[in-house]
Amino acid sequence: MASADRGARRVSAGELVADLGPRWLVVPAGIGADDRDAWVRSNVDRVRALGEDWPADAAELVPALLAHAVDRRGEDHLVLTFWPSVVPLPATVRISVLASPGRAAIADELRARPTSRAEHVDGARLGPGVEWVHADALPGERGEQLIGIQACFADDETMVLVTLDPTLPALLPHVADPVRELARTVERVRAGHPWVARPLPEGVGTRSDRETWPAWHRA
């Protein structure tokens, strides 16, 4: 389970470490219904305190939203929710360490989709990375899509993925920058030493249009 000192901004989960601002909340892994309910109760007031600009009745939604975050957590190494100031609709970010198909294979995947936009991630503690947008259908709405962001940091053996689950397009401008800031703070520490990604082969970089291709997922 991820752990963090209540007053600290640094959290850890296994090999992963990240720095969090006050609007981030770590979603615990591997807890049962009783522990889930206790976790929800312990965080309701904390989350409600972030909602000074939310609609008046928004506070009633917080317990259900927290419980939903735990129920949908999955098996990713570190899962967090970001609570924007505009609405009580948290964005979910998943950070995972996966086997890498190899930097050449990642680059080939990016190059094979000429309509996609891949941008370099610079200044991250994980080293050089690449970021793209991914989309998912909006349930019950024909032609409408949810939009997310995924960043990949890789060598030829493993890769770290930082994934913003697809969210409402209107919400994306309010969460994209905090997610990118989070991705730059993530570290992976192995045997006491920082792991650093290697650059992808040449020819993978910023393109002028928008991607619509799926995100990688844990096997």
Residue 180's CATH number: 3.40.1000.10
Answer whether residue 200 is part of any domain: no
pLDDT of residue 1: 42
pLDDT of residue 6: 44
Answer whether residue 207 is part of any domain: no
C-alpha–C-alpha distance, residues 51 and 40, integer Å = 16
Q: Which domain holds residue 69?
A: 3-194
Answer whether residue 199 is part of any domain: no
- Number of domains composing the chain: 1
pLDDT of residue 141: 62
Answer whether residue 121 is part of any domain: yes
Answer whether residue 78 is part of any domain: yes
Answer whether residue 211 is part of any domain: no
Under 8 Å CB-to-CB from 154, ≥6 apart: which residues? 100, 103, 106, 129, 160, 197, 198, 200
pLDDT of residue 36: 93
Across the chain, which has 219 residues, the per-10-residue mean pLDDT values are 51 93 94 94 95 88 96 95 93 96 89 70 94 78 80 96 94 94 95 93 54 45
Answer whether residue 39 is part of any domain: yes
Q: Is 173 helix (H, G, I), strand (E, B) or coil?
A: helix
Answer whether residue 68 is part of any domain: yes
Q: Is 34 helix (H, G, I), strand (E, B) or coil?
A: helix
Q: Of the candidates 67, 211, 81, which has an alpha carbon nearest to the alpha carbon of residue 135?
A: 211
